Amino acid sequence: MRTLSITVTGEDRPGITSSIVGAVSGTGAEVLDIQQVAVHGHLTLALLLAPGEHADELRDAAAVVAHRLGLTLSVVEGTGDNARQRHGRAAVVVLGAPLRADAVSLITARIAEHGANIDRIRRLSRYPVTTVEFDISGADVDSLRTQLSLVAATAGIDVAVAPGGLARRGRRLVVLDVDSTLIQQEVIEMLAAHCGREAEVAAVTERAMAGELDFEQSLRARVATLAGLPETVLAEVRRDVILTPGARTLVRTLKRLGYTVGLVSGGFIEIVGELAAELGIDHARANRLEITDGVLTGQVLGTVVDRAGKAAALREFAALEGLPLSRTVAIGDGANDLDMLAIAGLGVAFNAKPLVREQAHTSVNVPYLDSVLYLLGITREEIEEADRAEPLNADSM
Cβ contact 373:383 at 8 Å: yes
As a whole number of angstroms, the distance between CA 371 and CA 193 comes to 31
Residue type, 341: L
- Per-residue confidence of the chain (397 residues) as pLDDT tens digits? 889 999 999 999 999 999 999 998 878 889 999 999 998 899 999 999 999 888 899 999 999 999 999 999 999 998 877 655 568 899 999 999 999 999 999 999 999 999 999 999 999 999 889 999 999 999 999 999 999 999 999 999 999 999 988 778 889 999 999 999 999 999 998 999 888 888 888 888 777 767 677 889 889 989 998 999 999 999 999 999 999 999 999 999 999 999 999 999 999 999 999 999 999 999 999 999 999 999 999 999 999 999 999 999 999 999 999 999 999 999 999 989 999 999 999 999 999 989 999 999 999 999 999 999 999 999 999 999 888 887 644 443 3
pLDDT at position 396, please?
Answer: 39
Question: Same CATH topology for 2-79 and 90-168?
Answer: yes
Cβ contact 153:164 at 8 Å: no
Question: How many other C-beta atoms can be found within 10 angstroms of the C-beta atom of residue 306?
Answer: 20
Q: How far is CA 203 from CA 68, 340, 366, in A?
A: 72, 24, 25
Cβ contact 181:336 at 8 Å: no
Question: How many other C-beta atoms can be found within 10 angstroms of the C-beta atom of residue 379?
Answer: 17
**Considering the domain 174-393, what is its CATH architecture?**
3-Layer(aba) Sandwich (3.40)
**H/E stretch holding 78:** strand 72-79
Domain 90-168 has CATH 3.30.70.260: yes
As a whole number of angstroms, the distance between CA 246 and CA 202 comes to 25
Question: Dihedral sign, CA of 86, 92, 93, 94?
Answer: negative
**H/E stretch holding 342:** helix 338-343
Q: Where are the domains of the chain?
A: 2-79, 90-168, 174-393
As a whole number of angstroms, the distance between CA 180 and CA 24 comes to 58
As a whole number of angstroms, the distance between CA 306 and CA 211 comes to 12
- Homologous superfamily assigned to 2-79: ACT domain (3.30.70.260)
What's the pTM value of the predicted model, to 2 decimals? 0.86
Side by side, which strands form the sheet with 130-137? 117-125, 130-137, 90-96, 158-163
Residue type, 45: L
Three-state secondary structure along 191-236? HHHCCCCHHHHHHHHHHHHCCCCCHHHHHHHHHHCCCCCECHHHHH
- For helices 269-279 and 247-256, angle between their N-to-C axes, nearest 10 degrees: 60
Give Cβ neighbours of residue 16 (< 8 Å, ≥ 6 apart): 8, 10, 43, 45, 69, 71
**H/E stretch holding 343:** helix 338-343
pLDDT at position 394, please?
Answer: 41
Rg from Cα positions in the chain: 26
> Is there a cis peptide before residue 98, judged by omega within 30 degrees of 0?
yes
As a whole number of angstroms, the distance between CA 333 and CA 352 comes to 4
Question: How many other C-beta atoms can be found within 10 angstroms of the C-beta atom of residue 243?
Answer: 17
> What positions carry a catalytic annotation?
177, 179
pLDDT at position 393, please?
Answer: 47
Pairing of strands 72-79, 90-96: unpaired
Burial environment of residue 28 by CB neighbours within 10 A (0 to 12, 13 to 18, 19 or more): exposed
